[in-house]
Homo-oligomer: A and B are copies of this chain.
Amino acid sequence: MDQVKTDPRIIRTRKLIMDTFIDLSSKKEFKDITVKDITTEAMINRATFYYHFEDIYDLLDKALSEVLLVNLKSEEYEQEELNEGSLISIFKAITNFQMSLSNRCHRGYEDTIARIIRDQLEVLFYKMLSKEHDAKENETLKIAAVMLSWGLYGASVEWRRNSQNVTPEEYIKSVIPFITKGIQ
């Protein structure tokens, strides 16, 4: 996969920072977390933080992406077809992730988080679509991926707001034919 393996110090330090950040996130709101908080708690130098991340928003971005990736178990999906089964489990992963976030007070950063989720979904959908379609449809596939990611994300927001009385699976299942077979 990776031609050059990354220095173990880098893996160690990034994990330390991210874990500490996620840990702190469950105790404080994001806006009250400073870079110094993280670095002292993680026992790494503040300068080292800036060696790995541009700023604290960059960390938020990467930390959430990582957590979401775990939920999405991306490598597995990339092997799969884009059908009813995989769509349902992706949707469940999204709602799971959002529910887990809601315990961790990131109030005021919904926009950032939403963008991160959609970015991840878009990449994933694009990969899956590419496997089943010709390369010359490239631009079309990208747009399709964008629409799918916004669409599924929007559905998850709607579900969280109004429909938690039904399971995510039930919620999304009925509309899947419109995705796979089109609105006709």
Interface residues of A (CB under 8 A from B): 8, 11-12, 43-45
A8: contacting residue among B11, B12, B45, CB under 8 A:
B45
For A12, what are the chain B residues with a Cβ–Cβ distance below 8 Å?
43
For A43, what are the chain B residues with a Cβ–Cβ distance below 8 Å?
8, 11-12
**In the complex, what distance in Å separates the CA atom of A7 from the CA atom of B45?**
11
For this complex, 5 residue pairs linking A to B, each with C-beta atoms less than 8 Å apart, are A8-B43, A8-B44, A8-B45, A11-B43, A12-B43
**In the complex, what distance in Å separates the CA atom of A43 from the CA atom of B5?**
14
**Chain B proximity of A36: nearest CB distance (Å):** 15
**Chain B proximity of A13: nearest CB distance (Å):** 10
For A11, what are the chain B residues with a Cβ–Cβ distance below 8 Å?
43
